Structure 1
Amino acid sequence: MESGSTSVVPNKTAAALLMDAAIVAINGTATSTTPMTPGDDDDQPSISMDNLYPALIQCFAIIICGYLAGRLNIITNTEAKGLNTFVGTFALPSVIFLSLAELNWSTVNWNFLLSILISKTIVFLAVAIISLLVARPVNYGRAGLLAIFCTQSNDFAIGFPIVTALYSKIHPEYASYIYLLAPISLAILNPIGYVLCEISKIKAKAAAENEPVESANGRRPSVPPCSQMSDSANSNRKLLKGKVLVVVKIIESVFFNPVLLMTVLGVIGGRIFQNGLPVFLSSILQVLGNSFSGTALFLLGLRMVGKAATLQGPGFILPGIL
């Protein structure tokens, strides 16, 4: 017994040890993937790094196919917009709803989700503050966009196949964590970036409207006191209207987002249909969801065409540092 167990442990690779650490972080308890006896090696499932490389090759091969399709102009921009609408409005929401409705909530480690929220929040705030301090002139919209870009990862298209390849046998519920992580960015962090973008728009519009109208001799024309009071009232009304529009746009971007909406509906559906979704509903969602992964990866490569030219020169320095 002892000789068999000691002969297995030294053969664990560094990658396998990292996978063990990830399991400990999610489960909260140490779960060893190394069999205790040579006889149990075939019975107990473990993480196989052999499944990782085919998953990576699969992802990047589809991305390259999409890039070649765009580079060779096989698919036009109009057709790419149609694919984008299908993926974001139909395929991805179907996958999210189906996964969350069938998730066993008793296995979810909320401490792990809280740690992801804290870490993403730190990165978001750090990027926004650094971009405001470093970049000149100060642009709140740019700070919000850079913060969103640094925290909005492509978990669905690339992360899901990799997690499924690694943990499908020992922890199949890990793939559902990806869908639980989506609201962290969509409902909490991204609205902050949207607010910064709207503030930048309001400031730019106010600066354009407040430019002094100079007369022919270079002096600003005199304005009667009544007109000044009227202009002040109009300015206050415009400011109030701008604030209301900001709130409306933020609410619209958050609550009418298909991904976030289907996340909420998936949680509710899991509570209502505790014995499983109806067959007719699950079959429809399954068909739409199966089309997501390949289409999303293909679309990712398709949208990379022509992007490299915009990421050169001084404009690439700040995003590269962040």
Structure 2
Amino acid sequence: MMMYTDSSRGLNFAKDPAVVRFHNQYYMYYTLNPGKAMPQNVWGIGIARSTDLENWEKIADIDPAGELETLGICAPGAFVHEGKVHLFYQTYGRFEKDAICHAWSEDGIHFTRNTTNPILRAEGGWNNGRAIDADVCVFRGELFLYFATRDPEGKIQMQGVSKCPLDGEFRRDSWKQCCEDAILRPELPWEQDCIEAAAALCRYEKVYLFYAGAYNNCPQQVGVAVSEDGIHFRRLYDEPVLKNGVPGSWNASESGHPYVFEDEDGRVYLFYQGNNDNGKSWYLSKVEIQFEKEMPFVKTERV
């Protein structure tokens, strides 16, 4: 079983994975915390590389740059377009002012910031303006970006969506919010007060959205919804498609913040974070997702 963490800053800590295939290798981007060995650092993004999706080697960090990112960056989403890795990530520590930024790279390691950052904030009276946890997918010839935001009181986390022409620039003035209310908000008991970290997969001319329900370690678990237009979603199951582990297991505190990766051979993997110490450490792992009559399930949990 894949198990990855980053101990470069004195803690075992890797959260919020995003994976792409690029130049015949796999690149994983993830949240890296300030740590205790290097207290001068702020939140950043780590980069690991693999040839088999199982064994990962850390190769670099993406450090915050400029005044906008002074308090840190985290929670990347990634996709490859026209020979470049495009990273959509959030500012950190600004609460309702946190927003989505964009950067691109020709080698998967060194990134150039979009000059119009931040490119996206939530709009409308139904939210508090926050936009975090970006993930993107190409659907019907446009780039759809799913983000998490909160209600005006800042208590309930929920999902929104915007879209942009697939022009490779993804500038701030190109984005159009597609919803006038949350596309998913917590409703089921296990989702508690939070739906976040939506992970999109386009298949069968639909968008499947794997999402994290409940705040970290409550426990956070993974559900799935589907949409025919990329905007209006319905849940496929009332229970999590991926649950937290049993007491004593590595992910007993949560299985959260999913990311869906479809490889060139069509196989689909769900990457996610977990721990068993209520967030003192964080590890990344994956399971394979398969479909039966257009319904997704976790292969390892199939009876």
**Fold-level similarity (TM above 0.5):** no
TM-score of the superposed pair, with normalisation by structure 2 = 0.21
Return the structure number with greater relative CO, CA threshold 8 A, min gap 6: 1
Q: Which has the larger radius of gyration?
A: 1
Higher strand share: 2
Higher helix share: 1
